Amino acid sequence: MNSGTEFNGMDKFYRQTINALVAAAGEHDSTAEGHSERVRHYASAIVSALGNISSENARDIDYAASLHDIGKVAVSSKILNKFGRLTDEEFDIMRRHSMVAVRILSKVEGLSGAVPMIKHHHEHYNGEGYPDGLAGEEIPLGARIIAIAEAFDILTTDVPWRDALSQEKALDEIERCSGTQFDPKIVKVLRTALDKDIEQPPRRAAVLQRLIL
């Protein structure tokens, strides 16, 4: 595992549980597993580059990165795979996925540290995100990391309505949103994290799932 956290005993059991949940999501949408694994990969690289995160927090971030989109199992494939702009009603349905994840994962004791990160990974640093409009360091650190890791994966992956951006253009876009959507401190370490990240995760040629920032 990229974060260097050792999984044994109960941690191994929870990782197996996570893998099973992500596989189940993959049955609903074939792109879900790949996206989750890449977000986990980039989040792990950011954690390593930050260098001041406890092993327990790093473990919870790893769990949360894997499961950040698990709530989309409750979103219809019609919405996930829709070409073009979502209606306001469809977008409201999409926005509920983080709260669906909370309801699912709160039943697993060992994921309690990951749940707040998943719930809040669509909060914006300036307070204009969802579900609770948290701002700055009110947002859990793991959620701020996952937000950037997910954005980088979305920007660098082909989708039906645009080609993937290059790594440099994706970094430029994330830096443009520093201080508004993203935590400036984490944005600053993203380049370092990617430079140190030797093994790039595999990706599909195209993502059909509806991905939102």
Give the active site residue among 12, 72, 82, 107.
72
185 is catalytic: no
163-183 CB burial, b ≥16 within 10 A, e <16: ebbeeeebbeebeebbeebbb
Calpha distance 198→159 (Å, rounded) = 25
- Residue whose entry in the numeric block shows the structure tokens 């996206």: 35
Q: Output the DSSP codes for 9-25.
A: THHHHHHHHHHHHHHHH
Calpha distance 181→213 (Å, rounded) = 9
Active site amino acids: 72
